[in-house]
Amino acid sequence: MAVEKTKKDCKYIDTGICDYAGSEGCASCSLLFANEREQNEIAEGWKVTQSYLPDDIDAVHLSAECQFCRGDKGEADAYALVEMAHHEPEFLKRKFFGLGSAERAKIGSLITIPMPICSRCRKLLNKANNAKWIATGISVVIMMIALSFVPAFRDPDFSQWYIPLLAIAAAGLVGYAIGSVLEKRFKAQVEKEILADIEELPLIKNMMARGWFPFHKQNASNNNIIISKKKPRPNVLFKRAAD
Ligand SMILES: [Zn+2]
């Protein structure tokens, strides 16, 4: 499954950092352009990161079973990309995993875990997260259709052009309000069938007990989990060669 590692003389070949940073081959490894001291820092930092990872992390993302089903586990056909952060390792803050931006400065480790998810859970999650936008869109469309039946608004010389615009904006607001209520109700329903909150997933719970926290909670602009058909790094292993 793993790609062939071409840099046979690399000091870190087949170590933990090789499974992670070098998972897609030596050409895309973060050690490639680092000097010896930096490579050492990265490898040592990764050992600290690994020491906080649960032992079953690879078994979970390699599993063919959906991690979100509450009852019988469906067959996974995509991945929910869950970003988890940790304050350790202290000395790597602002460096390798802490890419420099203000909110990442507090973070020593930042990893993206691909969580297997089935098509049913995916649809339910999407609906639960998008109900208010769907309701907003429907209200706007209905209002536009309704306005098109008012003869005055179709007259190009009609001077109060802003009235239909205001009506459309108002419809959008009403739709958003209704959608928000529906979304809450819908989320409560979905919550009965699937583990809609990532903090309920056993692996994530276990990680949080070890000091990890969901990165999106730090970063309000990124509320919804990104779902991807493929793993961003198909061969990644987080803990196999922990050493
Ligand atoms: Zn599922």
pLDDT in tens, 9-25: 899 988 899 999 999 99
Strand, coil or helix: 173: helix
Cβ 132 vs Cβ 95: under 8 Å: no
What residues does the ion ligand 1 have nearby, CB within 5 Å?
66, 68-69, 74, 118, 121
Which parts of the chain register pLDDT below 50? 96, 98, 100, 103-104, 220-222, 242-243
Rounded to 5°, angle at Cα 45 from 41 and 47:
125
Per-residue pLDDT, 2: 56
Q: Compute, in angstroms, the gap from residue 167 CA to the centroid of ligand 1.
A: 41
* Cα–Cα dist 190/196, whole Å: 7
Q: Give the distance (Å) from ligand 1 centre to CA of residue 48.
A: 32
Q: Kindly report the CA angle at 137 between 123 and 128, in degrees rounded to 5?
A: 25
The token duo for 30 is: 């973060």
**Nearest CA-CA partner of 63 in 122, 104, 11, 115:** 115
Ligand 1 centroid–CA 166 distance in Å is 42
Q: How many CB atoms lie within 10 A of CB 70?
A: 13
pLDDT at residue 160 in the model:
79
pTM higher than the cut 0.85: no
Neighbours of 161 (CB within 10 A): 10
Q: Are 79 and 227 spatial neighbours (Cβ–Cβ below 8 Å)?
A: yes
Determine the pLDDT at residue 106: 72
Residue 222 has what pLDDT?
Answer: 43
Structure tokens at 54: 């649960």
Q: What is the pLDDT of residue 218?
A: 54
Q: How far is CA 241 from CA 16, 129, 194, 236, 237, in A?
A: 5, 37, 33, 12, 8
Q: What is the distance in A from the centroid of ligand 1 to the CA of 59?
A: 17
- Quote the tokens at residue 65: 């079973």
**Cα-to-centroid distance, 67 and ligand 1 (Å):** 6
Distance 74 CA to ligand 1 centre (A): 5
User: Tokens 């071409």 — which residue?
Assistant: 6
The CA 112 to ligand 1 mean position distance, Å, reads 20
CA of residue 73 to ligand 1 center, whole Å: 6
Ligand 1: centre distance to CA 221 (Å): 26
* Alpha carbon of 154 to ligand 1 centroid (Å): 49
Ligand 1 centroid, distance to 61 Cα (angstroms) = 14
What is the greatest pairwise CA distance in the chain? Answer: 79
Return the amino acid letter for 223.
N
Kindly give the distance from the C-alpha atom of residue 193 to the centroid of ligand 1, in angstroms, as a whole number.
9
Count of beta carbons in the 10 Å neighbourhood of residue 18 = 23
Return the SS3 of 7: coil
CA atoms within 13 A on the CB side of 178: 13
Cα 68 to ligand 1 centre (Å): 5
How far, in Å, CA of 238 to CA of 20, rounded?
6
Q: Ligand 1: distance of its center to the CA of 201 in Å?
A: 12
The whole-number pLDDT of residue 196 equals 84
Distance from Cα 71 to the centre of ligand 1, integer Å: 9
How far, in Å, is the centroid of ligand 1 from the Cα of 216? 22
